[in-house]
Structure 1
Amino acid sequence: MTTAALPSPVRIGLSRGVLELKAFFRERSAVVFTVAMPMILMLIFGTIFKGKVHDTNVDFRQYFAAGIIASGIMSTTFVSLGVAIAQERDDGTLKRLYGTPLPKAAYFIGKAVLALALSVLETAVLFVLGNVLFGLKPPSTPERWLTFAWVFVAGVVVCTLLGIAVSSVPRSGRGAAAVLNMPYLVLQFISGVYFPFDGLPSGVQQAGALFPLKWMSQGLRSALLPDTLLPAEPAHSWEHGRTGLVLAAWAVAGLALCLTTFRWKRRRDG
């Protein structure tokens, strides 16, 4: 008598990803907050701020739109994943999953599929909005498309890992949104999302350069905006090499934090 082979963790994880997406889109409030919030911010700031970026010919609204796309990636990964996992830990979902034959990797693959799908959706929606309202153009060359692709993928990977890792910080699921939105909001202001990065105080620039959102924003600007913007960049260069190194370092750090800090149970469960 032969025993049927069990599905691989990857196959189970992909199936869980489909279930995660169905569950997410059933929660209308979560869909609205996650997808619509960056759109609302783009509309508000795009209406308030006009003109060129410093002495360049680049419309500030296009500069801002590229940053909001990076911010949207962080919203659908770092914030949304961190909050969802913290809530699943608090209501006992993770504890029950831990006691099943489900491969542990499948759970994280499912969450990664959800994060990637939402990031693609968010990016597409924000780009279309930026194109219609502010004239944001798609990458103009194959090289710029390649830059857009690797910065997008690297940003999703980094922020997904950090979202999983930071999910262990909130003491309860109810407080997760407040705990995770605080660093997210601060990073937006110090990473050149709402304001040109070179116009920030030097100390703020140094602090922002330590975190991935600054480099994600800069990388997307390099793919979507013309080189005439370079005089407004602090290094007068797109710094693709440094962007890749910083994001790679954060990916390694995020993975290490996931492996060492992730908890399947609540603190009070021991």
Structure 2
Amino acid sequence: MSNLAGTRAEALAARRRGGPRTLRLGASRIGYEVRTYFRQGDSVFFTFLFPLVMLTIFSVAFSEGTFGTPGGKDEISAAAFYRPGMLAAGLLLSGLQNMSIDIATEKGDGTLKRLAGSPLPVLSYFIGKIGQVFVTGAMQAALLLLVAGVVFRVELPIDAASWVTFAWVFVLGVTTCAVLGIALSGLPRSGKSATAVIIPITLVLQFISGVYLGFSMLPEWLQNVASVFPLKWMAQGMRSVFLPDSFAALEKTGEWELGLVAIVTLTWLVLGLIATRLTFRWIRKDS
């Protein structure tokens, strides 16, 4: 009995020592993942700079016009109109697209197999990946807001409530997209096919979720389809922060529905965690 108790105590002590070590390794992995991310030119363009490029294109293309509500109460520039959608798209690209392609590629080139034979805990690996998404996502959002303000003269909100909303929509959105990206990384059959499989999914979601087209312009059935997915709600949350309150009339229910923004996004976060737990492996089962 005493030997059993001693073994349990030793195991518990080992787990306690392993906790700080796992966090330290995860923190060091964040720096490694960020450096690796910015060394990949295609990833930087298609995930980090892509929303900024699209904002610039739309802002220049529609520079002579304005966007307003049906009653004409408020009119804003194209840059101001597209800024919230591009911020939401940035979360999707930095999280879901980048994460799923990156992990699928690491599965294909044997990186995960080598890590499986190393002392690196799986949790440390995930901390590094998700931390990289937070860092690059925050940098991307800051750059987009800076360019919109300096180049296109789009003002920022001045009330604290708007920035609180922005903070929780950003954190919840980027976390959900990162977790869904991990879950989706098992979909491509190889690292080479990851880009061809994942990018069309993210493009379709952006077109139907009010990023490139005004959500009210879409057919009702397509609005219903988009409402199932988190990007529509993340974009709506961003619009509630950066657009005048009168623009809520352009939403499907005529309201910002921030409660539903949180509920739907949290639901997808939970589903992503479940899918990740069930499907993620260091190496493919068929390898």
Does structure 1 conserve the Cα–Cα contact (< 8 Å) formed by 2:47 and 2:97?
Answer: no
- Give secondary structure in 1 for the equivalent of 2:157: coil
Superimposed CA distance per residue, residues 105-156 of structure 1 (whole angstroms, 9 cap, x where no aligned partner): 0000000110000100111111112223443322321111110000000100
Root mean square deviation of aligned Cα: 1.6
Deviations 1:28-48 (A, max 9, x none): 343233222221111112222
Query: In 2, Cα distance between the equivalents of 1:32 and 1:192?
Result: 22
**1:200 and 2:247 correspond:** no
Which residue of 142, 151, 172 maps to 2:169? 151
* 1:52 and 2:60 matched: no
Q: Which runs of 5+ in 2 are unaligned?
A: 1-13
CA contact (8 A) 1:68 1:193 kept: yes
Q: Is the 8 A contact 2:209 2:232 kept in 1?
A: yes
C-alpha contact (below 8 Å) 1:78/1:162 kept by paired residues: yes
SS of match in other structure, 1:192: coil
Give the TM-score taking structure 2 as reference length: 0.88
* In structure 2, C-alpha distance between the alignment counterparts of 1:155 and 1:216, rounded to whole Å: 6
Partners of 1:105 and 1:175 lie apart in 2 by: 26
Give the alignment of 1:69-84 within 5 angstroms.
69-84=87-102
Moved more, 36-45 or 74-83: 36-45
Asked whether the 8 Å contact 2:33–2:132 carries over to 1, the reply is yes
The normalised TM-score by structure 1 is 0.93
Is 1:53–1:196's contact at 8 Å kept on the other side of the alignment? no
Question: 1:86–1:173: 8 Å Cα contact kept in structure 2?
Answer: yes
In the alignment, structure 1 residue 25 sits paired with structure 2 residue 38: yes
Deviations along 1:76-103, one digit per CA (max 9) or x if unpaired, are: 1111111110000001111111122211
Alignment correspondent of 2:186: 168
1:263 and 2:278 are equivalent in the alignment: no
Instruction: Give 2:6's aligned residue.
Output: none
Paired with 2:113 and 2:208, the residues of 1 have a C-alpha distance of: 37
Runs of 4+ in structure 1 deviating by more than 6 angstroms, as ranges, are: none
Q: Which moved more, 1:149-158 or 1:40-49?
A: 40-49
- Confirm or deny: 8 A CA contact 1:67 1:220 kept in the other structure: yes
Counterpart for residue 183 of structure 1: 201
Matches of 2:120 and 2:156, distance apart in 1: 41
CA shift, 1:73, in A, is 1.3
Structure 1 gap segments, 5+ residues each: none
- Deviations 1:208-261, CA, capped at 9 Å, x for gaps: 111111111110111112112122222111101111100110110010111011
Sequence identity percentage = 40
Deviates more, 1:64-73 or 1:24-33: 24-33
Alignment partners' CA distance in 1, 2:75 and 2:279:
43
Q: Take 1:201 and 1:52, find their aligned partners in 2: how far apart are those partners? A: 20
Q: CA 1:134/1:232 → structure 2, altered by over 3 Å: closer, same or farther?
A: farther
Is the Cα contact below 8 Å between 1:188 and 1:194 reproduced in 2? yes
Pairing 1:230-245 to 2, within 5 Å after superposition: 230-245=248-263
